[in-house]
């Protein structure tokens, strides 16, 4: 009876595992870059929102000047959040499909390795050997768990990133709502000040107009008195 070399297919499996590890490292580096870029954009938005002015008028003017830039940043943030959510769904569905298909591929490769070592083997025996080898060989089971673990970790990381982005979006929306309310207060105060100034201006005009009329009447009456004294008019 020949001894079956159960490690015959391990090198190719290790090659696939190493390739997957390299891909995971690349994804992690890209993710760190994106995270750093998003953090920079978030700080820029906060600087735009948190800038204060000395007066209400300056604050309102600053808000209107920076509003298009702030809206553009929020739109970029929303698009990044949407792409992350889509990518998470794709990775989740792809990971489930790989986990379903992986046992079938392992069974076929294990059966081929056994048949190449033994020579002529019955299909029933090769299937039973492949199933028993899956139970007896802990290294291959550990390898499969290693392949499944990065997908689960990546899914968890993506879910955490999506939740964090949702919280940041909610915080930004609340800050923008607060700034909108502050802008409305500024506009109301400016409108009230403008109304007061308009009323004061109208009052001053009426006062000047009445003063001119009284002065004119007084001058006419004085001139009439002088004429009456000169000519003895009654």
pLDDT score for 232: 65
Supply φ then ψ for residue 2, to 5 degrees.
Answer: -80, 145
For position 164, what pLDDT does the model report? Answer: 84
- Confidence band of 23 (pLDDT split at 50, 70, 90): confident
* d(C-alpha 234, C-alpha 225), whole Å: 10
Can you tell me which residue has the tokens 């673990």? 149
Whether residue 173 has pLDDT greater than 70: yes
What gap in Å lies between CA 11 and CA 8, rounded to an integer? Answer: 7
Checking if the pLDDT of 168 tops 80, the result is: yes
Q: Return the closest-CA partner of residue 133 out of 112, 119, 153.
A: 112
pLDDT, tens digit (0-9, with 9 covering 90-100), for 183-222: 888 888 888 888 888 888 888 888 887 777 766 666 666 7
Q: Is residue 17 within 8 Å of residue 147, measured between CB atoms?
A: yes
| Of 63 and 128, more confident | 63
Sign of torsion, CA 24 25 30 33?
positive
- Of residues 109 and 134, more confidently modeled: 109
Given a cut of 70, whether residue 61 has pLDDT beyond it is: yes
User: What are the tokens at 110?
Assistant: 């294990």
Cα(first)–Cα(last) distance of the chain, in Å? 158
The answer to whether residue 11 scores a pLDDT higher than 70 is no
Range in 91-95, 96-100, 194-198, 212-216 the model is least confident about: 96-100
% of the chain residues with pLDDT over 90: 0
For range 114-129, the mean pLDDT: 48
């Amino acid at each position: 009876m020949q001894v079956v070399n159960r490690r015959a297919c391990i090198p190719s499996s290790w090659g696939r595992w190493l390739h997957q590890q390299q891909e995971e490292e690349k994804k992690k580096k890209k993710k760190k870059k994106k995270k750093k870029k998003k953090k920079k954009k978030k700080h820029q938005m906060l600087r735009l929102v948190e800038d204060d002015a000395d007066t209400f008028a300056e604050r309102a003017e600053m808000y209107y000047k920076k509003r298009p830039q702030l809206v553009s940043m929020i739109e970029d943030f929303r698009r990044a959040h949407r792409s992350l959510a889509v990518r998470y769904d794709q990775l989740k569905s792809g990971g489930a499909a790989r986990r379903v298909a992986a046992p079938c591929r392992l069974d076929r490769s294990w059966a081929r390795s056994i048949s190449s070592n033994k020579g002529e083997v019955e299909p029933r025996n090769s299937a039973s050997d492949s199933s028993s080898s899956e139970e007896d060989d802990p290294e291959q089971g550990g390898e499969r768990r290693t392949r499944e673990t990065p997908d689960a970790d990546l899914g968890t990381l993506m879910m955490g990133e999506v939740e964090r982005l949702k919280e940041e979006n909610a915080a930004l929306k609340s800050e923008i709502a607060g700034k909108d309310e502050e802008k409305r207060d500024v506009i109301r105060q400016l409108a009230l000040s403008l109304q007061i100034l308009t009323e004061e201006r109208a009052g001053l005009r009426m006062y000047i107009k009445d003063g001119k009329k009284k002065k004119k009447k007084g001058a006419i009456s004085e001139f009439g008195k002088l004429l009456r004294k000169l000519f003895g008019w009654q």
